[in-house]
Structure 1
Amino acid sequence: MGAKHHNHDNCHHDSCVHCHDYEYLRQLDKRRLLAALIINFMMMAVELISGLMAGSISLFSDGVHMLADGSGLSCAFYAITIAHKKPTAEPRAAQINGCILLVMAVYIFVNVRHRLLYPMDINVEVMTGIAIAGFIANIIMYFILHDGNRHSLVMRSATWHVLCDTLSSAGVITGGIVIYFSGWRLIDPILGFVIGALVLNYARKLIIESNILLHDLKRNKNHE
């Protein structure tokens, strides 16, 4: 009987340690998301305004992408805050992220079409300079989020949001360099289209993955 009591104490102790570790990781992830959100919204505002002022659809698209990132990070923060109370919060938030990205992708494609039909002058210096700042900001956010809870769908989706935007910022920088040295302005809407396609593909994957997780959670609940 003493052995049984001892085993029960060990199980209780292990359970407490697990709960403590989970809560510690959850609070750490919340702080990471909050730091990334602050950087994101500051850079997003700069890119959107600068994209309009510079006449660059690719820079503006990157700003839209950062807006989607901000929405995704906000949903992730909300999900992690209530995930311990509501298990479906994380996949629901990821699902919302995917829908937001779908809408943003369509918006980018509409703007790309308009720019192809009605070309305009581009301020290459502003376009490239702001894109470099956006690239650096995304690298910082990526490293902030990368060490988060890798078992969390929301943290992984938030990290991939930022990684995609890092790649799109690199594309805008490349476009600025090409326009500066060759004057080939068509690359700007082409890059805008590529960024839109990346956003669309990621949205599709995110919605599929979150739907599968929601289905598994509901099935497990029905079996209980």
Structure 2
Amino acid sequence: MLSALGWGALAAASLVVGALLALVRRWRDGVVGAVLAFGAGALISSVAFELAQEGLSIGSPTSVAIGLALGAVTFFLADRAVERIGGRAGGGAAGLPLALGSLLDGIPEQAVLGIGLATGKGVSVALLVAIFVSNLPEGVGSAADMRASGKSRAAIVRLWIAVAVVCALATLGGYAVADLAGGDVKGGIDGFAAGALLVMLVDSMVPEAKEKAGNRAGLATVLGFAVAAALSNLT
């Protein structure tokens, strides 16, 4: 169980690292956009080769589809709530959609990591690296937006530490309930993570990457996808 917590903390730590990198200095929009695009590509690969594929291999198509729908609707409704709080252009909620996406996809994603450890499959290196690589630009992009909107450094760091702690504990939770969860439940968890990720990517991450990186966003996205896909096929 301690190993599950350790691996979960390692994967979630990149969220805080990304936020700290954004606070150390002001990065040019082009750099932030390229990093976001790279992370988006890694997440697309994670959805395709880790979450959806694994979900269908251990659960029924129906359970994965239900999970996808629940994840998508959950992120959509939560994102709408964030917009009402401050609006993306109003400053108060700047960067929060990415933080919200990290939380909504990070919890089930890292629960999958814990389930794998508990069932004796060990750590999926591809999934671990995909989580780490995709978390980093989410932290950078979100913290940069929050900082630009006037949020204090302390408030930003506290937020990302809280998100990272919750995600790390999700790994522990997945480890604890692995014996109780059947294949359909595990498949649904994979689907939920994939659904939340896809909506976050289309609504928040990809548009922001394109806006900040311009035509380079597409190339960076393909590069991120290629790196993550190669890692998936190594395991």
Both structures adopt the same fold (TM-score exceeding 0.5): no
* Greater relative CO (CA pairs within 8 A, separation 6+): 2
TM-score, normalised to structure 1's length? 0.33
TM-score if structure 2 supplies the norm length?
A: 0.32
Query: Looking at CA atoms only, which structure, 1 or 2, has the larger radius of gyration?
Result: 1
